[in-house]
Chains A and B, each alone.
Chain A
Amino acid sequence: MTQLTSHLKLLEAESIHIFREAAAQFRAPVLLYSIGKDSTVLLHLARKAFWPAKLPFPLLHVDTTWKFHDMIAFRDKTVRELGLDLIVHTNHDGLARNINPFDHPPSVYTDVMKTVALRQALDAGGFDAAFGGARRDEEASRAKERVFSFRAAGHRWEPRRQRPEMWQLLNGRLGKGETVRVFPLSNWTEGDVWRYIALEKLDVVPLYFADMRPVVTRNGQLIVVDDERMRLEPGETPVMRKVRFRTLGCWPLTAAIESDAADLDAVVEETLAAKVSERAGRLIDHDQAGAMEMKKREGYF
């Protein structure tokens, strides 16, 4: 098993450079913090970029109210321990209409509780730049993304009109009505993220490590039951299985995998040996062909 890590320092320096360029050029940046492993690395790199100064921007968490309880606990602990400035936003209109992942198709639920919620929060805060932890290796349309990803008025991504981005030069000059999404982890892979977490000894949400959890199997996917809101189909009974998550999102829409990887070294080994891609466990991406590109055009990350 290859355990290549000597390139991580190069990736780290590149990400720090991106953070500093964005902080210097944009009026009001915000860091999209989604609590998962990528956000953990993103936050760590941001702290390195500005150390010993404090982060020159707040964190924003879009809370769909369907995050795992362990995730919210981890978020609050992180914010407390590092003394961070966190904004939590929920689409209350969507909540009032009871938009949820059981009664609505994933595309509708994601649009209302994630994409619209994100647009609301960015507009409310008057943010002109938002850092995100998206990586180009995640998905085919993400592989096409720039580091400074410009969005037209209304946060729309126009993939055919992306700004040229040459060398290390990041042009952050905005046109009228434009905002930008900044992706410091663009060139990282899932394997890099885990190797870096191990190298830097970072804490992550415990759901990434294998443990006995209550699980139902639907369409071949393992769904962990996180609270009493779970609606069981006739004949379904949660059974305890040893599972973990490769990717964390909203709980009934993010599938777990069977695994014995209970610590960081085991997770790194398993990730590097994986035979399927990470997004295979994200149910929202399979809803429609080109699903991610469509969501991104609407203003999703």
Chain B
Amino acid sequence: MHLVQLREEVGTGPAAVQAAQKGALVRLLTCGSVDDGKSTLIGRLLWDGAGVTEDQRAAVTLASHNRAVNGEKIDFSLLLDGLQAEREQGITIDIAWRYFETQDRRFIIIDSPGHEQYTRNMATGASHADIAILLVDARHGAKRQTRRHAAICNLVGIKKVVLAVNKMDAVNWSEARYREIERDFRVMAGSFSFAQVTTIPVAALTGDNVVYRSAAMPWYAGPTLLDYLEAVDPEAEQEDAPFRMPVQLVLRAAGDFRGYAGTVTSGRIGVGERIVDARSGLGATLRRIATMDGDLASASKGDAVTLVLDTDLDISRGAVLSEVPRRPINADVIEARLVWLSEAPFDPEAGYLLRTATDLTPVTSMSVSALVDFETLASAPAHACNVNDIADCRILLGRAAAIDLFSDLPLTGNFVLVSAIDGATVAGGVITWAQAGAPEVGDNVLVLDRALLARGLCSDLGDSPADLAEFNRRAQEVAVLLRSVGVPVLIEI
């Protein structure tokens, strides 16, 4: 009987679905430094919030007694640490995904590792979250890794952050200590673009203020963690965002069917409205929105649809379909802030590809201009970039790609950088500035050729292998310096 009602509720078209969906699915990240209690907090949330089945409870209870890290207490982190290496070492290496639901909401919990060496896994997790719970140990306050995690949450676009001040039991439930950490954190959060910062004093091990209100902290009048999660609005997008749909595939079927399959990444579009392909500038009218459940009159953000146009635009995967007035930038120079994920450091000579929504574009040249300092959270000039660094960089593309600024439209303004050699994902980033129509070769591009360099800078060098190596090194360094101030450079030696 329930199901019949629900079918009606969900089956009345995309607008109704959107309304019903608002806040129906909340993606939640836990992060913070190692040993501040992330897995324990989530374990406690699941344990008290009924996200744990009886056989899992029995297995964890048994394993806890064998390990006896908390004496006779349950080791909640065992609910999360699913890899053998993690259980053996008692640490979290990779993100764990857990699921639970309350009366009105389905939660996806992403538990991330605290160790610096696994920051890349944390960044992976953070990019999927609407809300971050950042943990600190009440005894120690924010650490370097706490700041790094906050910076990554900010980078990937998380707008709502909860600071969970954990292990309040270890500071005698002291309000003064809590207020001190809260104050420090609000100062730090000021350097980020979070829309909402909430702080909650908790003790994950005993469950205080996680699901149940703490009797030990009567001075705290705010919500418990679960209260907060049930009430928070995870939506980040503004109401009238421009329409975008990156094309994933062109579908062809019987009866001359030709449709562009993709997921709407922002805004909405209706049948009869004009659409433009951002890269070619060609326009068409939307004739059908085809789905297996029947045609739709309109499609909005999050809908996976197939668009049929009145004229054939001759476009393929990688194109971004847009509304006419507010189009993407057809950029071939971008500036971006990225988190470096690869063990191999950034190498200006390595081949990279830029993977945006559905496009893959060769990188002609790339340079790093600054790194974020995790002590001060300020940027300092730099040219190298290593694993787990957050860097500002400038990227020249081999051809134009249709993109947006991340601050305007996150899903067409983000990217990953891919190694052209082995396909590995080496960095994830957000576009902070973009320019259309960068010069072709011969048009403002400085070509560093052998003759040019041999005349002056390298006039002291001969033909020996050592001299040739030094010649190359100087050429690269000059290119790096020039690129870092925005001069497009090609090396031809």
Contact = CB atoms under 8 A, between A and B. Distances in A.
B97 A186 contact: yes
B302 to A, nearest CB: 6
Contacts of A143: 80, 82, 96-98
B423 interface: yes
A24 B341 contact: no
B428 interface: yes
Contacts of A187: 97, 99, 108
A137 interface: yes
Nearest to A3: B2
Interface stretch (A30-38, A86-94, A171-179, A206-214): A171-179
Query: A interface, by DSSP: helix, strand, loop or mixed?
Result: loop
A9 interface: yes
A214 to B, nearest CB: 26
A54 interface: yes
Nearest to A44: B292
A162 B128 CA distance: 16
Interface string B280-296: 00000000001111000
A194 to B, nearest CB: 10
Interface residues of A, number: 70
Contact of A137 (B3, B98, B341, B422): B98
B257 interface: yes
What 8 A-B pairs have minimum CB-CB distances, sorted nearest first?
A: A140-B82, A173-B423, A16-B304, A51-B292, A166-B428, A166-B127, A175-B422, A7-B25
Contact of B94 (A47, A144, A276): A144
B99 A20 contact: no
A265 B21 contact: no
A285 to B, nearest CB: 11
A172 B249 CA distance: 15
A50 B260 CA distance: 10
Contacts of A47: 292
Interface string B1-29: 11100110110000001001100110000
Contacts of B95: 144
Nearest to B318: A24
Most chain B Cβ neighbours within 10 Å, of A1, A23, A51: A51
A50 B292 CA distance: 9
A52 B99 contact: no
B101 A169 contact: no
B193 interface: no
24 contacts: A4-B106, A6-B21, A7-B21, A13-B263, A16-B304, A20-B248, A48-B291, A49-B261, A52-B253, A52-B290, A136-B99, A141-B83, A159-B94, A160-B94, A164-B416, A165-B425, A169-B414, A178-B423, A186-B97, A187-B108, A191-B101, A280-B53, A290-B84, A293-B82
A146 B466 CA distance: 46
A195 B316 CA distance: 35
A168 interface: yes
A232 interface: no
Nearest to B58: A276
B303 A144 contact: no
B166 interface: no
Contacts of A7: 21, 24-25, 106
B468 interface: no
Query: B interface, by DSSP: helix, strand, loop or mixed?
Result: mixed
Interface residues of B, number: 82
Contact of A167 (B3, B128, B302, B423): B128
Given A5-B10, A9-B10, A143-B82, A169 B415 contact: yes
Contact of A51 (B10, B85, B248, B291): B291
A100 to B, nearest CB: 27
Contacts of A16: 263, 304
B493 interface: no
B366 interface: no
A277 interface: yes
Nearest to A136: B97
B477 to A, nearest CB: 30
B85 A160 contact: yes
A96 interface: no
Contacts of B106: 4, 7, 192
A49 B261 CA distance: 8
A274 B103 CA distance: 16
A28 to B, nearest CB: 16
Interface string A212-243: 00000000000000000000000000000000
A156 interface: no
A163 interface: yes
Contact of A13 (B84, B303, B425): B303
B414 A167 contact: yes
Given A163-B424, A166-B425, A11 B53 contact: no
Given A137-B99, A163-B425, A189-B99, A9 B17 contact: yes
